[in-house]
Structure 1
Amino acid sequence: MNSIKNIFRYSIKVITLALMLTGVVWGNTTVQTAMKSTEVSSQVVPLQPIMIQGPMPIEAEYFAALLDNVNIEYSGNAVFYRGTLDGYPIVVAKTGKGLENTAAATAIGIERYRPRLIINQGTSGGHDPDLNVGDIVLGERSVNASNFKTQKLAKGEGSKPFQWLPMDLMASEKSAGEGSSAKDAEKLRFYLGDKTLIALASSLSSSYKRGKVVTGTIGSGNFWNNEIDRIAWLHKNMGTSVEEMETSAAAQIAHAYHTPFLGIRVLSNNITNHGEYDPTTAKDCQAFVADVVKAYIKSLN
């Protein structure tokens, strides 16, 4: 019986030693298998696109034609052209004219594409007599130039637009326009353009041959002013360099989403110095903005 036990114990030791040696061999040998497999790489975070806005076809489609690999998407009144410029993702948004269309397109564009910055560009009418058709204004500031509160005047007392008070719609949530809290809203609200973008665009001013490039204030509103005295009043009291219908709305929404923003507007006309309307300025503005965007993309590398 003892002999049998000894033989069994010896056999266990031999088997254990064999398993240990086999483990050493396996541990240093690549296991070959006939099973099919695939390797999944780590995900790369997509680049945030640059969004370029223009209200009308002549203010957006030239830039869109500069893009490669374009896909077109629609939402409400807005059209979005997705593509690349110098290999970097770009979204060109044709917003439609006016404050409402622009605000909606900006919010949709931010929610959908998460842009790293927004440039709203296009044509404008001059308020500053020192600016000529073809000159470009970089929006150091933009303001809604159509928010006003009028005086109380009785029947027959007429209207006195030069005495209207500015109305800051973002100042008070407690008042519709009357009462003590409404006094906080009797002021202008300016949205500042991104300083880095302004500096970059200013550095390229010598390359723009159609006119000069200056910083100034872009006034926005759903109006088309042809009254010289009204234009002079806005220029004096709000510091407006030009007027158009979109920039301040885009700036307001961009600010709400903490997205860097700049308005760039070319003068297509200026009745303060008899500058006749020239629609070709829309293309000139887009070409300059393209140079700004290319320089920005190059700075990222």
Structure 2
Amino acid sequence: MSKPSLSLNIALISGLAIFAPLQAMANTETSQAPIIIQGAMPVEAEHFAAKLENAKERQIGEWRFWQGTVEGYPVIVSETLKGMSNVAAATSIAAVEFKPKAIINQGTAGGHDPALHVYDIVVGKYSVNLGAFKTPHKLQGAGSNSVDWKPMDLMASKGSAGEDKNAHSIRQFAADAQLMKAAEQAMPAYTQGKVVEGVIGSADVWNSELDRIRFFHENFNTSVEEMETASAAQISSLFNIPFIGIRVLSNNITNNGKYDAQTGIACQDYVYDVLKAYIKQINAQK
């Protein structure tokens, strides 16, 4: 077998010399795990997606993802669709497909706290599942009273939730401390209402009974309710992904606060400032 010519060897070496820095550059660009920004509906996601630099839309099943950057850092906006199951699926897809550094779930919510008004924002120090309850045993004809229901912690054990003696307390999913710090740093710039820390309640239920809302507020300290945050927080915790929920009040029936669709835009603008503060933290740690 003849030996490669000198000119061929030179060409191969030159090609490798050119390819090596390109490969190193590619590795550097992809070494940063992206930050996921979740919104359930188009009105809660598309405004944020428009802020991304060089965004490309990707469809996985019925879920939309926009991949781009903010200030050079990879960011993915995820339209999760409404409800606990949809957001759980979207969060699982994001965890496996994109391996994110953090997840921020944001959007609109209804108020539980009479002291909060439309356009006020709740940074979820905790989120809770308001749809996991066990009813007391009652005979036929004895009626039903939701305030007698006891919360179940579906993550308390691997046994039957209905028979688990340790499951009768509500699970609080705590926000990541670094994300909380970023949210606090962004608070002064928000001028359309006040920003407070609180508890976000989630369930596939639309509550309009004031007594039921007061029960949640007084017993579980809920500030707002919606249909996604606690589920996304639960899945994030199982993947060990830092998480925070941020919600703007689009209405509050406890004080006659009327629905305003534009609140979703205001929340995305605030979360954009939270994101930039978080990216600064990441860059400072390098």
| TM-score of the aligned structures, taking structure 2 as reference length | 0.91
Partner of 1:19: none
Partner of 2:55: 70
Task: Answer with 1 or 2: which has the greater Rg.
Answer: 1
Give me the whole-angstrom Cα distance separating, in 2, the residues matched to 1:33 and 1:157. Answer: 94
Give me the whole-angstrom Cα distance separating, in 2, the residues matched to 1:270 and 1:298. Answer: 34
Write out per-residue CA displacement over residues 247-293 of structure 1, whole angstroms, 9 at most, x where no aligned residue. 00000010001100000000000000110000100000000101111
CA contact (8 A) 2:210 2:254 kept: yes
Give me the whole-angstrom Cα distance separating, in 1, the residues matched to 2:51 and 2:161. Answer: 46
User: What pairs up with 1:247-262 in 2 under 5 angstroms?
Assistant: 247-262=229-244
Aligned partner of 1:264: which letter? I
Write out per-residue CA displacement over residues 4-40 of structure 1, whole angstroms, 9 at most, x where no aligned residue. xxxxxxxxxxxxxxxxxxxxxxxxxxxx931222113
Q: Percent identity?
A: 50
Partner of 1:148: 133
Partner of 1:25: none
Aligned partner of 2:142: which letter? E
User: What pairs up with 1:210-289 in 2 under 5 angstroms?
Assistant: 210-289=192-271
Partner of 1:7: none
Give me the whole-angstrom Cα distance separating, in 2, the residues matched to 1:235 and 1:256. Answer: 27
- Secondary structure, counterpart of 1:177 in structure 2: coil
Give me the whole-angstrom Cα distance separating, in 1, the residues matched to 2:133 and 2:160. Answer: 15
Q: List gaps (5 residues or longer) in structure 1.
A: 1-31
Correspondent of 1:50 among 7, 10, 35: 35
Give me the whole-angstrom Cα distance separating, in 1, the residues matched to 2:85 and 2:61. Answer: 12
Cα 1:186–1:208 change in 2 (3 A) is same
User: What pairs up with 1:145-224 in 2 under 5 angstroms?
Assistant: 145-178=130-163, 182-224=164-206
CA contact (8 A) 1:138 1:216 kept: yes
CA contact (8 A) 1:197 1:262 kept: yes
CA contact (8 A) 1:53 1:92 kept: yes
Per mean C-alpha deviation after superposition, the further-off stretch among 42-51 and 139-148 is 42-51
Partner of 1:34: 7
Give me the whole-angstrom Cα distance separating, in 2, the residues matched to 1:202 and 1:157. Answer: 49
Partner of 1:20: none
- What is the root-mean-square deviation in Å for CA atoms of aligned residues? 1.3
Alignment: residue pair count: 267
Are 2:71 and 1:86 aligned? Answer: yes
Correspondent of 2:46 among 37, 57, 61: 61
Give the Å deviation of 1:298: 2.6
Write out per-residue CA displacement over residues 100-126 of structure 1, whole angstroms, 9 at most, x where no aligned residue. 000000000010011100000000000
Aligned partner of 2:155: which letter? M
Runs of 4+ in 1 over 4 A off after TM superposition: none
Aligned partner of 1:33: which letter? L
- Secondary structure, counterpart of 2:154 in structure 1: coil
Per mean C-alpha deviation after superposition, the further-off stretch among 240-249 and 200-209 is 200-209
Give the Å deviation of 1:300: 2.8
Give the Å deviation of 1:75: 1.8
Partner of 1:100: 85
Per mean C-alpha deviation after superposition, the further-off stretch among 152-161 and 42-51 is 42-51
Give the Å deviation of 1:176: 4.4
Give me the whole-angstrom Cα distance separating, in 2, the residues matched to 1:137 and 1:76. Answer: 31
Aligned partner of 1:258: which letter? N
Give me the whole-angstrom Cα distance separating, in 2, the residues matched to 1:199 and 1:72. Answer: 30
Aligned partner of 1:220: which letter? S
Give the Å deviation of 1:77: 2.7
